Amino acid sequence: MKDRRIPILIVSWLFTLPLLGAQLSPQLESEAKEIETMLIAPCCWTQPVSEHYSAAADQIRTEVRQMLASGMTRDQILQKYVAEYGQRILSKPPARGFNSLVYFLPVLFLIAGAGVAVLVVRRLRPASAPTEPPAAQQPGSKYSSQLDKEMWG
């Protein structure tokens, strides 16, 4: 039982060791946190690294801090991860090529939906008010006496 815990402790110590040694300035620490929000955790591809808790996300957090401490910029770090994992690693894809549809389609659908709503409302609204009352409401019609009789007794 004791033999199983030792490798686990060694591995967890190896993951936390770089974080203990690399104390970043407050400015670099905030930059690291911003970069973490820009990257998706590659273990499940569902959450940003900043919100995900897994070994892969922890490793990326550590690597980001190490790269910032070595002088790399945000763009260089993001390019490194894009080269390794592809565009999928970015939480917000760049607006060029096919990815630009992500930014323009919602606006187009909103405009098209508003146009359809206007057309539906126009079709449901009567074209013009009737010029003469229906036959049952005209005085002297064959139904008006029966209607008066049924309504007033």
- pLDDT tens digits, residue range 70-123? 999 999 999 999 999 988 898 887 766 776 777 778 888 999 999 999 999 888
Full residue range of the structural domain in which residue 77 is found: 2-92
Measure the CA–CA gap between 131 and 88, rounded to whole angstroms.
64
- Please report where in the chains the tokens 């591995």 appear, as a residue: 11
Same domain, residue pair 12 and 56: yes
Same domain, residue pair 58 and 116: no
Note whether residue 135 is domain-resident. Answer: no
Crossing angle for the helix pair 2-21 and 55-69, to the nearest 10 degrees: 30
Statement: the pTM of the whole predicted model exceeds 0.75: no
DSSP 39: B
Q: Count of domains in the chain?
A: 2
Same domain, residue pair 79 and 18: yes
Q: Which two tokens stand for residue 27?
A: 């400015």
Mean pLDDT, the chain, rounded, equals: 79
